Amino acid sequence: MPSPRRKVLEVLQGSTVTPPPIWLMRQAGRYLPEYRETRKQAGSFLQLCYSPDLATEVTLQPIRRYGFDAAILFSDILVIPDGLDRNVHFIEGSGPRMEPIDEEGIFSLSPEKVLPHLKPVMQAVEQIRARLPDETTLLGFCGAPWTVATYMIAGHGTSDQAPARLFGYRHPKAFAHLLAVLADLSADYLVAQIDAGADAVQIFDSWAGVLGETEFEEYAIKPVARIIRSVKERRPQAKIIAFAKGAGMNLRHYRQKTGADMIGLDWSVPLSFAADLQKDGPVQGNLDPMRVVAGGLALDDGIDAILQVLGQGPLVFNLGHGITPEANPDHVTQLVNRVRGIAHGA
């Protein structure tokens, strides 16, 4: 019996697939009424992440509704600091909170606790892969060390991540140690997800855009390269997507320096620059999530522009960041149909 055709994996291997495969960051989320219903059962956001049955259900919901070419594990980038006993919790309407860490706390971290803490996540990965259609790629993920560190230093998100940037300048040895600990834990976590059934994994560096050139090299490139090198040493066939939001021109050598198989592009990346990046390998992105909120012609035009410039090369169609709670589920149907060339009954 022939192996299932997992189109996202084909692109990750450098092939051009027409029409391009599609999935959306945060595709399992608050814009879906079925997600909101399941979320109520969990009691809290983290409980949803740590309940294998409920995490499986919300991961599968957008696959049932839209038939995306990939499912991404429902979890959060902050489960690693949660496993490090940083008292992670989420406040409705204002996001994550945790106990801020200092120099002493960094050098007192207990990494050995993390993977046992994350066993429910691996159970969810196993369940999701077992219940997914054979042709659907399953993506695991983690947060990049820089982005995770920003929350650990400040105890919450900030508009420019100044607390973490200042900490890096004032306490370079402690900050380098924190990034190294997070990189090694992230590599272990991704390997565990791959072993549990993930076909590929993505590293999210959501706050890469606040870094200057030197800091981007030290905080964004080197720790991600450390993760990828470690994963590929242990699992040579692993395929890894790296998404550095807001990185701009720093993306020019990001793939080569990190070893990523595919790079994700946010919506601010000009398509002409995206086309240059695509010459070196697969790209993923990069529709403005606000076009999904708007729908109609704005959505069609944004999709068409990306397909015209990037559709003849290795591309996974995605948003330039996560879908927002305000998005109309019908607009996502419009998006999927447009990408697949069936918007007008074709």
* Both tokens assigned to 50: 């740590």
Entry field: residues in the chain:
346
Let me know if 31 is a catalytic residue: no
* Cβ 331 vs Cβ 295: under 8 Å: yes
Catalytic hit among 31, 35, 66, 76: 76
Let me know if 205 is a catalytic residue: no
In whole angstroms, how far apart are CA 321 and each of 63, 171, 283, 286? 19, 31, 14, 8
Catalytic hit among 30, 131, 229, 234: 30
* Both tokens assigned to 309: 């410039």
Let me know if 151 is a catalytic residue: yes
What one-letter code names the amino acid at 47? Q
* Both tokens assigned to 133: 């259609």
Catalytic hit among 31, 50, 151, 189: 151
* Helix/strand number for the chain, H first, E second: 18, 9
Let me know if 30 is a catalytic residue: yes
- Phi/psi for 94 (5° steps) reads -135, 0
Rounded Cα distance between 81 and 225, Å, is 20
Catalytic hit among 6, 26, 129, 291: 26
Catalytic hit among 6, 39, 129, 226: 39
Q: Which residue has the tokens 């939001």?
A: 245
Q: Which residue has the tokens 């019996």?
A: 1
The greatest distance separating any two alpha carbons of the chain, rounded to the nearest whole angstrom, comes to 62
* Cβ 51 vs Cβ 57: under 8 Å: no
Rounded Cα distance between 304 and 3, Å, is 32
Strands, E assignment, 193-280: 200-205, 240-244, 262-264
Rounded Cα distance between 278 and 261, Å, is 11
Let me know if 76 is a catalytic residue: yes
| SS3 assignment, position 71 | strand
Closest CA to 80 of 64, 59, 58, 101: 101
Rounded Cα distance between 158 and 170, Å, is 19
| SS3 assignment, position 134 | coil
Catalytic residues: 26, 30, 39, 76, 151
